[in-house]
Structure 1
Amino acid sequence: MDNENKDDINNSNRYYGNNYSENQRYNNGNNYAGNGNYSSVNQYGGNNGYNNGNNFTGNNAYNNGNNGNKHGKKSYFAGLITGVIWGIAVVFILIILSNIIESELTESGKISDNVGTSALTGSSKSSIIKQYIDKYFMEDVDNDILTEGMYKGMLESLNDPYSVYYTKDEVESLKQSSEGEYVGLGISVTQNNETKVITVTKVYDDSPAKDAGIESGDTIYSINDNVLTDETLDELLVDIKGEEGKEVKMQLKRGEETIDADMKLREVLIDVVSYEMLEDNIGYIIIDQFTGTSAEQVEEAINDLKSQGMERIIVDLRDNPGGQLECIQAILNYFLPKDKLLLYSETKDGEQERYYTENDGLITDMPLCVLVNENSASASEVFAGVVKCYDRGKLVGTKTFGKGIMQSTFGLSDGTAIKLTIGKYYLPDDSNIHGIGIEPDYEVKLPEDVTNVWALKHPDDPQLTKAIEVVKGLD
């Protein structure tokens, strides 16, 4: 789906500006919490007035007779009334002061249990928190990092691993990756959804990773001495991409062996599509991911294989994490006739959008087999699901990942962006495979001791061997 640019509200004063003057009042309010002022307030507690009243009833006045006694009584009551008035005034003053300071820091430095009587809006609360950080946090703070962290936290609070905030640098890295040419290390990776372990699935020729001795099947343990725990693939991509010459220190595991790789980023041209002709004129196309260049590369592969006499075809989508909707739409068009429904999407408001093939395909009748596994996700599942729905071919391998939702990236005016899950997609048979996956027609599991299918030679790959057998039997 096309990226949608939205005008964002870029007014940092709402969060960190000087216009929020209430905080100054709160800070001044803190001064009222001091013992000095409280003591001076105590002086207004009425005792002095009460004592002054008593002075008018002193023994000297009492001993001067009735007139003096009457005068003493009057003075006594006047003093008493004055003391009561002062006492009431003090109570009101203390109530007011407690309301002012109840949401501020106590003298011990801890946050009060009370949060104040006035409601805080999002922007005013952010401003107050920011001022506390500036005043009390013991380390220096990078305001840009603090701000970016707030935006990232906003997206993370959605509890959706696919909804992400991108900084300017991250946006540039993702653009390069989607175009199939970028500055990086030259590896493809996949992440286990349960263990979060990130595994190298492919190392590209003439790349820093290739030169450093990284191999398919290696698992990434740390990057720049930071051990990977719950990092997402998007976060990892930022660490291994950037400006040419950036140094990346990576530690990987290869069985019991630890591999240290010190690399510098450089421009890498990624061929996301590779192909060859197998025996019996079976064309074999591997698609690593669906990027901006994938459709063009698949078309070139099909035409080249056809010129070599291809009669049957196997498309390998194992470990393919997905990609762009426009790309998968174009590639499916090579295998299907015009006007075939590929999928439809539905937003939370019930709005639907349908996607069809636009032309008659290049090989609409050629026997087809598709290889999938547990890491075939998203757009890969669209390809596999459409093939299965129309009985266009057969699926071989293991059940797919199960990602039946769609994301769209919205560019913001400052060069940053957000990616949001915007809806579900449904296959032509009205099924949604999110959290379910797609079962292959022929289930074939790899041996337990095989952790990386791409390290296998063709004869040792049981899934490919089965796919060759199946496609030979298709008319």
Structure 2
Amino acid sequence: MISKKRALIYSIILVIVTIICTSMFQITLGNKVIISKNLYELYSKYDKLLGLENVIESEYYQKVSEEDLIDGALKGLFEGLNDPYSQYYTSDEFQTLKEQTSGSFVGIGVYIGVNSENDKITIISPIEGSPAQKSGIKSGDVVVKVNGKSIESKTVDEVIKQIKGKENTTVNLTVERDGKEIDFDITRKTIVTKSVSSEVKEDNIGYLRITSFDENTYKEFKENLSNLKEKGIKGLVIDLRDNPGGLLDVCVDIADDLIGEGTIVYTKDNSGKKEYYKSDKNELDMPMAVLINGGSASASEILTAALVDNNKAIAIGETSFGKGLVQSVKGLKDGTGYKLTTAQYFTPNDNYINGKGITPKIQEKDKNKQLKLAIEYIQEEIK
């Protein structure tokens, strides 16, 4: 008996073929049909897929899960893009993806991505106070193995799936740092992320740290900024170091409260169509500096560029990660879903930073000196 999922796949294939049939040349001669070469190749392609599935089910040396085969075929569709950010998700994987932006999940507390310079899966940043950070995992560590097994040729999401597990269980992570491999045994815990924190530094200079752009980040940002204003701050340091990014709309909302009237970011899709995200006249009228490093990626880079290109702040620290691609995340009715890179994003000054990052105006590798320089800059501005 055919499964519902397989029936759905077959139905989709049939619909595609039927639609194409209506637009392709075909002639009926008696009991024969002459079809175009393109239509013949289309039939052959899908017949090959279904034929190979039957071969595997009948000849593979172990019992085969039909569900796994279909999921594998769907994953392969996205893997064919050779894009580390596009992925098909099973229902369990899609639930994990949603947890990552909700602010609560079970894991070791680490964000990973593909380093554009070497195509290696790399730690973008550990979450503050997480098991990963406490164990010694650092931004820039290259993931080599999970539980002793090489992750070579694995996608980012496949590695995340291997790292995740039940609470209070342990995962062994092997990373490469400075040419040496280091092993870490890390216990998985429930991670409840608070993405925004703040305090007042000397000379009434506000310090506001954003660790990610999640569902609750904008609300936390507004609360923290309001508290800083009530304390009479005269300038603001925004710390985006080791912030791997997150939700674009949240980043846009934050930028809208800071920069005044102008362009925050614009995207361009595969047809060349541009979509501009604009801000209104409301702004934070005081000197600002933004701290970035190699762990600042995606939405962090969008916010940084919005502030810098609109002459609202200067960037201080190290060159950012360099992720200038926008992903759309969609859930399907059966609980599965996908993430697909649908556009490139450009800064207000038309810069495409993918693979390049943002180079700060004041470059400094020492983390402690970065904050000191930011405070000194604002002190000069408010004199």
Deviation larger for 228-237 or 304-313: 228-237
1:237 aligns with 2:160: yes
Give the 3-state SS of the residue equivalent to 2:302 in structure 1. helix
1:346 aligns with 2:268: yes
Kept in 2: contact 1:203–1:214 (CA 8 A): no
What is aligned with 2:379?
472
Kept in 1: contact 2:328–2:342 (CA 8 A): yes
- Cα gap change, 1:226 to 1:388, in 2 (>3 Å): same
Map Cα deviations across residues 285-343 of structure 1 (whole Å, 9 max, x no partner). 22122111111112122122223332211111122222111101111122122x43212
Kept in 1: contact 2:318–2:364 (CA 8 A): yes
1:406 aligns with 2:326: yes
Deviation larger for 163-172 or 342-351: 342-351
What is aligned with 1:425?
345
Larger Rg: 1
What is aligned with 1:281?
204
Give the 3-state SS of the residue equivalent to 2:381 in structure 1. coil
What is aligned with 2:136?
215
- 2-side partners of 1:146 and 1:155: how far apart? 15
1:269 aligns with 2:269: no
1:202 aligns with 2:133: no
**TM score, norm. by length of structure 2:** 0.80
- 2-side partners of 1:393 and 1:15: how far apart? 51
What is aligned with 1:147?
70
What is aligned with 1:393?
313
- 1-side partners of 2:89 and 2:135: how far apart? 28
User: RMSD over aligned Cα, in angstroms?
Assistant: 3.0
1:305 aligns with 2:228: yes
1:334 aligns with 2:282: no
- Matched to 1:226, the amino acid is K
Kept in 2: contact 1:398–1:444 (CA 8 A): yes
User: How many residues are treated as equivalent by the alignment?
Assistant: 347
- Cα gap change, 1:188 to 1:124, in 2 (>3 Å): closer
Kept in 2: contact 1:245–1:266 (CA 8 A): yes
Q: 1:11 aligns with which of 3, 8, 15?
A: 8
Deviation larger for 191-200 or 425-434: 191-200
Q: Alpha-carbon deviation of 1:472?
A: 1.9
- Cα gap change, 1:260 to 1:385, in 2 (>3 Å): closer
- 1-side partners of 2:257 and 2:163: how far apart? 34
- 1-side partners of 2:89 and 2:157: how far apart? 9
- 2-side partners of 1:262 and 1:345: how far apart? 39
Q: Alpha-carbon deviation of 1:170?
A: 1.3
Map Cα deviations across residues 167-194 of structure 1 (whole Å, 9 max, x no partner). 1111111111101112223344565444
What is aligned with 2:21?
none
Q: Alpha-carbon deviation of 1:384?
A: 1.3
Kept in 2: contact 1:187–1:204 (CA 8 A): no
1:384 aligns with 2:304: yes
- Cα gap change, 1:433 to 1:194, in 2 (>3 Å): closer
- Cα gap change, 1:275 to 1:215, in 2 (>3 Å): farther
Q: Alpha-carbon deviation of 1:423?
A: 1.7
1:158 aligns with 2:158: no
- Cα gap change, 1:390 to 1:166, in 2 (>3 Å): same
- Matched to 1:176, the amino acid is E
Q: 1:182 aligns with which of 86, 105, 110?
A: 105
- 2-side partners of 1:258 and 1:344: how far apart? 41
Larger strand fraction of residues: 2
Give the 3-state SS of the residue equivalent to 2:303 in structure 1. helix
- Cα gap change, 1:208 to 1:467, in 2 (>3 Å): closer
Give the 3-state SS of the residue equivalent to 2:75 in structure 1. helix
- Cα gap change, 1:347 to 1:190, in 2 (>3 Å): closer
Deviation larger for 125-134 or 342-351: 342-351
Give the 3-state SS of the residue equivalent to 2:319 in structure 1. coil
Q: Alpha-carbon deviation of 1:162?
A: 1.7
Kept in 1: contact 2:123–2:138 (CA 8 A): yes
- Matched to 1:183, the amino acid is V
- Matched to 1:351, the amino acid is K
- 2-side partners of 1:340 and 1:260: how far apart? 46
- Cα gap change, 1:424 to 1:179, in 2 (>3 Å): same
- 1-side partners of 2:151 and 2:161: how far apart? 13
Q: 2:293 aligns with which of 373, 380, 388?
A: 373
- Matched to 2:271, the amino acid is D
Q: Alpha-carbon deviation of 1:15?
A: 9.6
Kept in 1: contact 2:322–2:354 (CA 8 A): yes
- 2-side partners of 1:10 and 1:346: how far apart? 36
Give the 3-state SS of the residue equivalent to 1:121 in structure 2. helix
Give the 3-state SS of the residue equivalent to 1:296 in structure 2. helix
Kept in 1: contact 2:125–2:244 (CA 8 A): no
Kept in 2: contact 1:163–1:421 (CA 8 A): yes
- 2-side partners of 1:143 and 1:167: how far apart? 14
Gaps of 5+ in 1: 1-7, 18-117, 447-452, 454-460
1:355 aligns with 2:355: no
Q: Alpha-carbon deviation of 1:245?
A: 3.8
- 1-side partners of 2:181 and 2:354: how far apart? 37
Gaps of 5+ in 2: 15-39
Kept in 2: contact 1:287–1:317 (CA 8 A): yes
Kept in 1: contact 2:167–2:190 (CA 8 A): no
What is aligned with 1:123?
46
Q: Alpha-carbon deviation of 1:368?
A: 0.3
Map Cα deviations across residues 240-260 of structure 1 (whole Å, 9 max, x no partner). 335x54734223458878544
- Cα gap change, 1:217 to 1:430, in 2 (>3 Å): closer
- 2-side partners of 1:389 and 1:203: how far apart? 28
- Cα gap change, 1:325 to 1:226, in 2 (>3 Å): same
Q: Identity percentage over the alignment?
A: 32
- Cα gap change, 1:387 to 1:294, in 2 (>3 Å): same
